[in-house]
Structure 1
Amino acid sequence: MTRREEFTRWMLKHSNRSKNTIDKYAAAVVTISKELTKYSNTTIDIYSINDSMSIDSIKQIYLKIDVLREKDERGNRMYTSALEWYKKYLKEAEFISNIAKEQPSEYSVKHIKKLKGEFKIKDGMKYWNRDRSIVDKIIYIKNNECEYDNTHRYFISKATNKNYVEGHHLIQMQFQDMFEYSLDVESNIVSVCLVCHKILHLGRLEDKIKIIEKLYNLREHELKSSGLDIRLDELIELYK
């Protein structure tokens, strides 16, 4: 299967665009490659590019060429839109590839002890840095489902075209000083729907406890493996 065919199939699955529009986007990528080769005097084959960040540079070059920028504007930005969708395709391909390298046989989390990261002080409060890629990995591994109740499905994310969920630090980052090791680890991050997430942050304690108990039971041993030894009653206390 060619890269163009892979891109087309990916868009059919992950976008809400019509088949006709998707075919136009796939063809537009070829057209952009030819036109950039013509006007920039550099041979460019976008379908041979594997780095998603390179697409931003290509887009900048494209928009600096007056005749191409005007053509894109007349076409309701179809060409730059095609580049944006191709970038999204490459980003997901990169993410899956990275997970496969880490876990060649199966996608699973790593339960490791990790040193505390850096933090910054703002308005007298300490804010610990977080690694967004860890959240993305957990959500991917958990198949975009709420770990408290996998029937919780409120809407489809525009960005992923999958069930919308959010990552939550079971032991919240504000309590990092209480622990020797980092809280920003896979063992401490859970995938939850937006309603469960709001309850954990803003809900009544009695409503929080039901969710905390189940998530704790799912993560207890993994937390210990990451040097985060905490009892259920101690965890609940942190949510009061």
Structure 2
Amino acid sequence: MLNIRKVSESTADHYLQALRTVSEMLVGERLVGTDIYEIQDLADLLNAADKITTSQAFVELNTRGHQMYSAGLNHYLSFAKGDLFDTISEQPELIDIPVDPSDSTESTGIGYRRSGIIRDQALSLAGYRCEIDRSHESFVAEASHKPYMEGHHILSMKLQ
């Protein structure tokens, strides 16, 4: 946010605190279990945001807070949607941090739910192109109508 939106560190801290408060409200309304970051799908995130921003408690708090709470939430939604990824001129640094796997589901094997938000951001940052070979042919995703390549076509799921 500091580099892309060009806001001060103090403003970014205010937005983050506002988002924490919104997250607590989502828990209070039973829209999430622990926090806003557990929402793995963009459509679910937008739905939760719509529900909380129309609640009377949020409207009152947001009015008293001079729209800081809606601003913090809107910045997070913008990030989750990847709205400003095309404005990044330099190559992004690798985000190589451990991500705790979600609860496993059992069928004929064991699988883990992946974050749709992180997936969509990674695709957008890659320009919807294969990062190994930019000329590699991919298919067009039905949902976004963008060229798309699943990572396991390049690197097996076992190695990801």
TM-score range, shorter chain: 0.5 to 0.7
Q: Does residue 1:82 correspond to 2:77, yes or no?
A: no
User: Larger radius of gyration, structure 1 or 2?
Assistant: 1
Compared CA separation, residues 52 and 85, structure 1 to 2 (3 A): farther
Q: Does the CA-based 8 Å contact 1:52-1:90 persist in structure 2?
A: yes
Q: How does 1:92-103 map to 2 (within 5 A)?
A: 92=82, 93-98=118-123, 99=126, 103=130
Note if 1:17 corresponds to 2:17. no
Counterparts of 1:3-152 in structure 2, within 5 Å, are: 11-40=1-30, 43-92=33-82, 93-98=118-123, 99=126, 103-105=130-132, 108-111=134-137, 131=145, 133=146
Q: For this pair of structures, how many residues does the alignment match?
A: 108
In 2: Cα distance, 1:43 partner to 1:95 partner = 23
Name the structure, 1 or 2, with higher relative contact order (CA <8 Å, separation 6+).
2
SS in 2 for 1:13: coil
How far is the alpha carbon of 1:23 from its aligned partner? 0.7
Q: Give 1:12's aligned amino acid.
A: L
Distance 1:95 1:28 in 2: 24
1:77 to 1:109, Cα distance in 2 relative to 1, 3 A: farther
Distance in 2, matches of 1:57 and 1:41, equals: 10
Read off the aligned partner of 1:103 and give its amino acid letter: C
Q: What is the identity, as a one-letter code, of the residue corresponding to 1:15?
A: R
TM-score by length of 2: 0.52
Per-residue CA distance 1:200-228 (angstroms, 9 max, x = gap)? xxxxxxxxxxxxxxxxxxxxxxxxxxxxx
Larger relative helix fraction: 1
Determine the C-alpha separation between the residues in 1 that align with 2:65 and 2:51.
Answer: 18
Partners of 2:30 and 2:23 in 1: CA distance: 10
Displacement of 1:65: 2.0
- Structure 1 residue ranges without an equivalent (≥5): 1-10, 115-129, 138-240
The one-letter code sitting in structure 1 at the alignment partner of 2:33 is: T
Tell me the CA shift for residue 110 of structure 1: 4.2
| C-alpha contact 1:29 1:47 (8 A) present in aligned 2 | no
Structure 1 residues 52 and 84: alpha-carbon distance in aligned structure 2, compared to 1, 3 A threshold: farther
- Structure 1 length as normaliser, TM-score? 0.37
RMSD: 3.4
Equivalent position SS for 2:77:
helix
**Conserved in 1, the CA contact under 8 Å of 2:32 and 2:38?**
no
69-78 or 45-54, larger mean C-alpha shift: 45-54
Whole-angstrom CA distance in 2 between matches of 1:89 and 1:59 = 14
Q: Percent identity over the alignment?
A: 21
Provide Cα deviations, 1:104-153, integer angstroms capped at 9, x if missing partner: 535x2445799xxxxxxxxxxxxxxx94x45xx9xxxxxxxxxxxxxxxx
